[in-house]
Structure 1
Amino acid sequence: MPAIHEKEKVLDGRGIVVSYKQDTSCYYYRELIPGTKSYRNKKIEGATNITEAKRLAAVVALELSGRLPETKQRKPSIKKVKNTQPIEEAVEDFLEYELNRVKAGIIVDNTHYHKSSVLKKVMLPYLQSEGIQNTRQIRETTFHNYLIYRAGLRKLTWKDEILKIKDFINNHLVKHRLIEPEVAVSKTLFPKFKIRMDDLLSNPPISKGDWTIINREIRKWVKEGENVRNHRCHLWRVLFWTWTLVAKNSGARPEELRKLKWKEVEVRDVGRISQSKLEQEMAELEEEGIEVIGDDAPSSGWAANQNSLGREERLIAYITVTSGKTGQYREIPTNLGSVFLRWRDYINTYYEKHNIKRSVSGNDLVFGNINNEGKTYTHANFILSWGCIRKRVTDKLHGNKFSDEQYSIYSMRSTFIQDKLLEGLDIFLLSRISGHSPDVLLRHYDRLDIRERAEEITSLPFGIKKKEDVKVELYSNKQQGQTKETPKLWSRDDSNSYKRTARKDRSAINRSKTATAKEQ
C-alpha cells in the first residue's frame, strides 16, 4: 500500500479522505464495506486540496452507494452557482414524477397518495414553522424538532413519515443538486427513537365481548338508515356492515377488500351433518318401516354426499386477494358464503328498486360505489364510519388488556390472526393466507391470552407415579478399553438399527454377518 500523505475523517466517521505521497495532487474517498474488511475507493474529481476534497466527499459517497449517477470528470470552475428551488415547487415536481411512476405501473396509486399527504400536509407546514423556504436552507439541524412538532402520534407513524421525507430528499433533492449532499447523508438529520414491543400493539385485536357490542351497534346503525330519505345512506351502511364481517372473518387488509371483485369470490356448498335433523330423518324412516344401516354420526367435517341423512347446507367462500405490498396473490377460505350471497341479492334488489337496468357481474367491485360507476370508495370513508361506530359504543367497550390503543379499522385483521393462533392453526398455513411471514406473525400478532391455556399450564399430576429409568454405563473410567460382551445382547436382531443409521440394504447386512467356511 502506498505511503499516505494526508488523511482526514469525513461524514461523521463513515469514510476518510486520503492522498498519497506518490501523487499529492490527487485525493481519494475511502469507506469500509459493511460486514467485510474491504474498502470502496473512488477518486475525488476537481479537488485540489484537502478542504475541497472533504467538501466533495459526500457526493462521491452517494455515487458509491448508487444514489447518484457517476459524474464525468469536470474542470474546476472559477465560480459555482448552487441550484436551489422553493420547497413547494420541489414537492410538486417530485409528486408529478411519482404520478408518472403510478401510470407506468411501478408503484400503486395508494403509495402516491400517502407520499402526497405526508409531504403536503406534514412536511411543508413543519418547514414553514422552521422558516425554511428554499431547498438549500435545509441543514443537519432542520428536523431536530420534528418529533416535538408531531407529538402525540404513534412511533410507527413517526417512522413512516420520516421514511417518506427521506425518500423525497434522497431521490429528488440530492439527484437534482437542490441540497447539500452532506446534509442528506448525515446520521443526525432526523432525531432517533426506539420502537418497543408495546409500540407494535397499535391495532389491538378485538375481544369477543367487544366484537359483539360493535356488531350489534352496526346493525342498529343500519336499521336507522332505513328512515333516512336518501337511499344512498342505507346502501352505504349495509355495505359497511358487510365489509366489517368480511374483514373480521378473512383477515384481509382494508385496501385488498376495497379492490376485491366478484369474480374473485367463489362460494361452495360443502354441507354438514346436523344432529337434530339426522335424528328426525332416522325416526321418520323407522316409522315407515325402513331400517337405517350405516353410521351417520354427525361430525364437524364436510358432508360432500348430497343424499346423506341429516345433511344441511354449509356455504364457504374462497376469496382471492392481491397484496398491495408485494403484489402476491393468495386464496383465503372463509365461512362467509351466506354473507356474500345476501350482499349480492341486496345489490340486485337495489338495482331493480331504483330502475337501474343491470345486475351484479364478475368484473364489478364487491364493495364499489354503484352510484358512481362502481368506482372504489376511499379509505377515509371506511375510517370515518368505523370512528362513528366506535364513538357510539365507547362507554361500553372494555378494550384490549394488552394495549391502551383504541380499536382501529385494522383491528379486525389482528382479531382474525389472533383467533386462528388461539385455535392452533398451523402458523405456516396462517402466514400463507394472511400474507405475512411467520416471524412477523409472532412479533406483531401473537398476543395470546394465557387464560385460554390456563388449564394446560396449571394441571397437577394426581395419581401419576414418577417414571424411573436406569442408566446403562457405556464405559468405566476405572476399566478403560475393556468390553463386557453379553451373549444375550449380541443375539438381538439389530438389522433395523443398521438400516436407520447407515441406510444399507438389509440383505447385505445379513450376508456380512454370515461367516464364510474359511473363517469358521
Structure 2
Amino acid sequence: MPSVLVKQKVLDGRGEVVSYRHQPGIFVYREWVKERRAYRSKRLDGATNINDAKALAIEIAFQFAGKESPASKKEQEALDKKIRTQLVEKAVTEYLKYEHNKLDAEIIKKTTYDRKHLTLIKHLLPYLTQEGITKTRQINEMTFQNYLIYRKGMTKLTWMTEIVVIKEFLSNWLLKHRLIEPEVVADKNLFPTIKIRQDDLMANPAINADDWTVINKEIRAWVSRGASHPNHRVHLWRTLFWHYTLIAKNTGARNEELRKLRWKDVEIRDVGRISASKKQEEIEELEAEGIEVIDDGNNDNTGWASNPNELGREERLIAYVTVTSGKTGQSREIPTSIGYAFVRWRDCLNDYYLKNGFDKQVSGNDLVFANINNNGKPYVKSNFNQSWALIRTAVKSRLKGHKFSNQNYTLYSLRSTFVENKLLEGCDLFLLSRICGHDAKVLLKHYERLDIRERAEELTALPFGRTKKQDIKVDLFSN
C-alpha cells in the first residue's frame, strides 16, 4: 500500500481524505468497507488543497451510497465556485455568448463564430460526455488522447481546425477564469500529434479542362430541367448557382466574398474584339459599294478593340469586380473576361421580378447572389455546398480527377482552378497574388501541384537556328 502523506477524516468519521507521498498534489476520498476488508476510493478531481478535497468528498460519499447529493443547485454552484470549477456545458455557453458579443462588435467574422459554435457544441461536448467529464477541472493531460479516434473519418486539416478552436477555449476562457489547471493547458502533448503531408494540402484540387466541361454541361442540364419545375424558385436557384460557378471560376474569389458581393461592386466595360470573318464581310460590302478599303492587318481576336468604329469589331464585355476579404478586411479589384455572365444574370433577375409580381429591378445595393424571395438576404454556404455535391455525384463516374490528388472537387476548387489556370498562362506571380488575395508563398504551393505537361512545349523547345549571343569586354584601365 502506498505511503500516506496527508489524512483527514470527514463526514463524522464515515470516510477520509488522503494524499500519497508519490503524488502529493492528488487527493483521494476513501471509505473502509468492512465486508471486503478494503478501501473503496475515488480521486477528487479539481482539488488543489485539503480544504477543496474535503468539500468535494461530500458529493463522492453520496455517490458511494447510491444517492444523489442533497446539495441544492445553488449550493452546488457555490461549491463549484469555491473550488474553481464549473459545468463544462455552462462554460461553453458563456464562452460562446462572449464570442457572439465580439461578432456583434465586428471584432470577429461570422464564419469564425460559426466554426467555434460547431466545434464546441457538436463535437467537444459530446466527446467529453463520452469520456465521463462534466466539470472543467476534471479535464487533465489524458482527456483528449482519444479525440482523433472519436473524430475518425475527418481530414487532418479538419482535425487541426477543431483542435485550434478547443485549445483557444481552454486557454482564453477556462484558464483566464481559473477553471482549469494551468499545467493542463501548457501540456504540449494534450492532443495527439498530427503530421501534415503535402498530399493533405490537396483538399481542393483544381478542375482540369475536360472535367470542367463535364461539370458545366451537367449544371446547364440541371438548370434546364428546373424550368419545368412547378416551384419557380427551383429554377431561379439553379440559374443563380450556374452563374455563381462561372463567376467563381473566372474571378478566383472566395465563397464568402461572392456571397456578399453587391451589384455596385461590379463594373462592366465593352472593350471589343476583332472578328476576322466579320471584318472580311464588312470589307467586301464596302468594296461592293465602290469604297476602297486598306486592310490594316489587325486580325487579333484576343486583344482589345477600343475604337467602336473599327472594322470587324464585336462586343466583348469584361468586368471589374471589387471584393472584400473576410480574412484581412482588404478590398481588391479583379478584372475578368466574363462580363457577359453578370449581364445575363441581371437580365434573368429582372425577368423574374416582372413575371412574379415584384415591383422592382436590380439595383446597385442588391446582393448579386441574394435570396430575393427572402428580402434579398444572402444564401448560407451550405446551400451552395449541397448543390455542388449533387452535381459532383451525378458526374462522378465521368470525371478524370486531378493528376496529383485523389480528393473530390469542392466549391473551393473553383478558386484553385483560377489560380492554376493563370499560372499555366504565365501570369505574373505578384499580379496574381494581388488579385487573388493570396500570399505569394501560397501560390508557390500551387506551382508544386501543376501538371508539368501543360507547359512541356516551352520546356522541351529545341534551339535550332539560334546563335549564341556574344559581347565584347571593355577594359576600363587600358590606355
TM-score range, shorter chain: 0.7 to 0.9
Q: State the match for 2:278 in structure 1.
A: 277
User: More deviation in 325-334 or 144-153?
Assistant: 144-153
Q: What letter matches 1:190 in structure 2?
A: F
Q: State the match for 2:316 in structure 1.
A: 314
Residue number among 381, 384, 389 corresponding to 1:382 in the alignment: 384
Shift of 1:245: 0.4
Write the distance in 2 (CA, Å) between the matches of 1:296 and 1:98. Answer: 64
Write the distance in 1 (CA, Å) between the matches of 2:469 and 2:235. Answer: 70
Shift of 1:274: 1.0
Write the distance in 1 (CA, Å) between the matches of 2:472 and 2:228. Answer: 81
Write the distance in 1 (CA, Å) between the matches of 2:288 and 2:228. Answer: 52
Q: How has the CA–CA distance of structure 1 residues 318 and 460 changed in structure 2, closer, same or farther, with 3 Å as cutoff? A: closer
Q: What letter matches 2:181 in structure 1?
A: E
Q: State the match for 1:253 in structure 2.
A: 254
Residues 269 and 315 in structure 1, CA contact (< 8 A), matched pair in contact too:
yes
Q: What letter matches 2:333 in structure 1?
A: E
Structure 1 position 166 matched with structure 2 position 154? no
CA RMSD, Structure 1 to Structure 2 (Å)? 2.6
Residues 418 and 446 in structure 1, CA contact (< 8 A), matched pair in contact too:
no
Gaps of 5+ in 1: 1-50, 56-76, 473-485, 492-520
Deviation readout 1:30-60 (Å, 9 max, x if unpaired)? xxxxxxxxxxxxxxxxxxxxx9xx99xxxxx
Residues 202 and 405 in structure 1, CA contact (< 8 A), matched pair in contact too:
yes
Structure 1 position 352 matched with structure 2 position 354? yes
Q: How has the CA–CA distance of structure 1 residues 341 and 192 changed in structure 2, closer, same or farther, with 3 Å as cutoff? A: same
Q: What letter matches 2:264 in structure 1?
A: K
Q: What letter matches 1:368 in structure 2?
A: A
Write the distance in 1 (CA, Å) between the matches of 2:257 and 2:292. Answer: 53
User: More deviation in 425-434 or 80-89?
Assistant: 80-89
Write the distance in 1 (CA, Å) between the matches of 2:345 and 2:466. Answer: 56
Shift of 1:401: 1.4
Residues 199 and 405 in structure 2, CA contact (< 8 A), matched pair in contact too:
yes
Q: State the match for 1:93 in structure 2.
A: 94
Q: What letter matches 1:319 in structure 2?
A: V
Q: How has the CA–CA distance of structure 1 residues 338 and 471 changed in structure 2, closer, same or farther, with 3 Å as cutoff? A: closer
Partner of 1:177, secondary structure, is coil
Shift of 1:462: 5.1
Partner of 1:306, secondary structure, is coil
Deviation readout 1:355-397 (Å, 9 max, x if unpaired)? 1111111111100100000001110000000000011111111
Q: How has the CA–CA distance of structure 1 residues 228 and 214 changed in structure 2, closer, same or farther, with 3 Å as cutoff? A: same
Partner of 1:371, secondary structure, is helix
Shift of 1:293: 3.5
Write the distance in 2 (CA, Å) between the matches of 1:339 and 1:429. Answer: 24
Write the distance in 2 (CA, Å) between the matches of 1:346 and 1:462. Answer: 55
Residues 205 and 411 in structure 1, CA contact (< 8 A), matched pair in contact too:
yes
Residues 246 and 336 in structure 1, CA contact (< 8 A), matched pair in contact too:
yes
Q: State the match for 2:17 in structure 1.
A: none
Shift of 1:470: 12
Residues 273 and 314 in structure 2, CA contact (< 8 A), matched pair in contact too:
yes
Q: State the match for 1:415 in structure 2.
A: 417
Q: State the match for 2:67 in structure 1.
A: none
- Percent identity reads 59
Residues 420 and 446 in structure 2, CA contact (< 8 A), matched pair in contact too:
no
Residues 364 and 374 in structure 1, CA contact (< 8 A), matched pair in contact too:
yes
Residues 201 and 444 in structure 1, CA contact (< 8 A), matched pair in contact too:
no
Partner of 2:319, secondary structure, is strand
Gaps of 5+ in 2: 1-21, 27-48, 53-81
Write the distance in 1 (CA, Å) between the matches of 2:322 and 2:241. Answer: 20
Instruction: Report matched runs for 1:40-439 at 5 Å.
Output: 79=51, 81-293=82-294, 295-299=296-300, 300-439=302-441
Residues 403 and 451 in structure 2, CA contact (< 8 A), matched pair in contact too:
no
Write the distance in 1 (CA, Å) between the matches of 2:176 and 2:295. Answer: 77
Q: What letter matches 1:330 in structure 2?
A: R
Structure 1 position 490 matched with structure 2 position 447? no
Residues 266 and 319 in structure 1, CA contact (< 8 A), matched pair in contact too:
yes
Write the distance in 1 (CA, Å) between the matches of 2:182 and 2:209. Answer: 53
Partner of 2:396, secondary structure, is coil
Shift of 1:490: 3.0
Residues 424 and 455 in structure 2, CA contact (< 8 A), matched pair in contact too:
no
Q: How has the CA–CA distance of structure 1 residues 469 and 292 changed in structure 2, closer, same or farther, with 3 Å as cutoff? A: closer
Instruction: Report matched runs for 1:433-452 at 5 Å.
Output: 433-444=435-446, 446-452=448-454
Tell me the matched-pair count. 406
Write the distance in 1 (CA, Å) between the matches of 2:465 and 2:295. Answer: 40
Q: How has the CA–CA distance of structure 1 residues 222 and 377 changed in structure 2, closer, same or farther, with 3 Å as cutoff? A: same
Partner of 1:267, secondary structure, is strand
Shift of 1:285: 1.2
Shift of 1:456: 2.8
Q: How has the CA–CA distance of structure 1 residues 454 and 296 changed in structure 2, closer, same or farther, with 3 Å as cutoff? A: closer
Q: State the match for 2:64 in structure 1.
A: none
Write the distance in 2 (CA, Å) between the matches of 1:471 and 1:353. Answer: 77
Deviation readout 1:47-89 (Å, 9 max, x if unpaired)? xxxx9xx99xxxxxxxxxxxxxxxxxxxxx9956321111111
Write the distance in 2 (CA, Å) between the matches of 1:107 and 1:83. Answer: 29
Write the distance in 1 (CA, Å) between the matches of 2:124 and 2:238. Answer: 35
Residues 414 and 445 in structure 1, CA contact (< 8 A), matched pair in contact too:
no
Q: What letter matches 2:442 in structure 1?
A: V
Q: How has the CA–CA distance of structure 1 residues 413 and 468 changed in structure 2, closer, same or farther, with 3 Å as cutoff? A: closer
Q: How has the CA–CA distance of structure 1 residues 344 and 82 changed in structure 2, closer, same or farther, with 3 Å as cutoff? A: same
